[in-house]
């Protein structure tokens, strides 16, 4: 997990009940550290500026879809006659090239990843997160596609990636990294 990440107050419970438990039940991971994971991101690049329909700087998104997407606290939900917030996470295959906000590996895939990165090296053209995530690199070596948890179980703190601050797109930083569906603490009713 990177230093600019935030987790929900009940992170360990959610991780065990909604990520690890289902993966173990489905036989994807095993208690001995083996399993069928190449890369599993606990962060979903949902509101990414570079591509996709959920760009926070787009007025069309913020005017129409944002209100449906963002995670509402229980106080907000109560005021809108909505049921209490319920944490629900899914694991989906997702091709994405960059980012390592919060990654999960089996012991087996972690050992293979270290060896792979040592073999391919990291350079200005292809950085480590590209070699880890892009389908033509480590996931292909493992023969297992990259997956992510959605909505994000771990979120990026802040809307912008500091390493991309010198690049601008339409007056905005080019890497808008957050997931508005993330909930730190829904609060009580």
Q: HEC states along the chain?
A: CCCCEECCCCHHHHHHHHHHHHHHHCCCECCCCCECCCCEECCCCCCCCCCCCCCCCCHHHHHHHHHHHCCCCHHHHHHCCCCCCCCCCEEEECCCCCCCCCEECCHHHHHHHHHHHHHHCCCCCCCHHHHHHCCCCHHHHHCCCCEEEECCCCEECCCECHHHCCCEECCEECCECCCCCCCCCCCCC
Decide if pLDDT at 168 tops 60: no
Decide if pLDDT at 162 tops 70: no
Kindly report the average pLDDT of the chain as a whole number. 86
Q: What is the pLDDT of residue 166?
A: 55
Decide if pLDDT at 165 tops 70: no
User: What's the mean pLDDT in 17-38?
Assistant: 92
Confidence label for 11 from pLDDT (cuts 50, 70 and 90)? very high
User: What's the mean pLDDT in 151-155?
Assistant: 95
Decide if pLDDT at 80 tops 70: yes
Decide if pLDDT at 105 tops 60: yes
Predicted model pTM: 0.86
Q: What is the pLDDT of residue 173?
A: 46
């Amino acid at each position: 997990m990177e230093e600019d990440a935030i987790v929900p107050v009940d992170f360990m419970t959610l991780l065990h009940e909604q990520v690890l438990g289902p993966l173990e039940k489905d036989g994807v991971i095993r208690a001995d550290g083996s399993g069928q994971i190449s890369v599993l991101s606990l962060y979903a690049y949902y509101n990414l500026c570079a591509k996709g329909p959920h760009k926070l700087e787009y007025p069309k998104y913020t005017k129409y879809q944002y209100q449906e997407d963002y995670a509402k606290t229980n106080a907000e939900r109560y005021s809108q006659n909505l049921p209490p917030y319920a944490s629900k996470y899914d694991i989906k295959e997702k091709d994405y090239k960059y980012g390592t906000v919060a990654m999960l590996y089996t012991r087996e895939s972690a050992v293979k990843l270290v060896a792979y990165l040592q073999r391919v090296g990291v350079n200005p053209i292809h950085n480590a997160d590209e070699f880890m995530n892009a389908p033509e690199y480590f996931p292909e070596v493992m023969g297992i596609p990259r997956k992510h948890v959605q909505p994000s179980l771990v979120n990026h703190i802040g809307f912008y990636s500091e390493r991309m601050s010198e690049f601008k797109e339409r007056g905005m930083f080019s890497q808008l990294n957050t997931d508005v569906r993330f909930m730190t603490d829904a609060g009580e009713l």
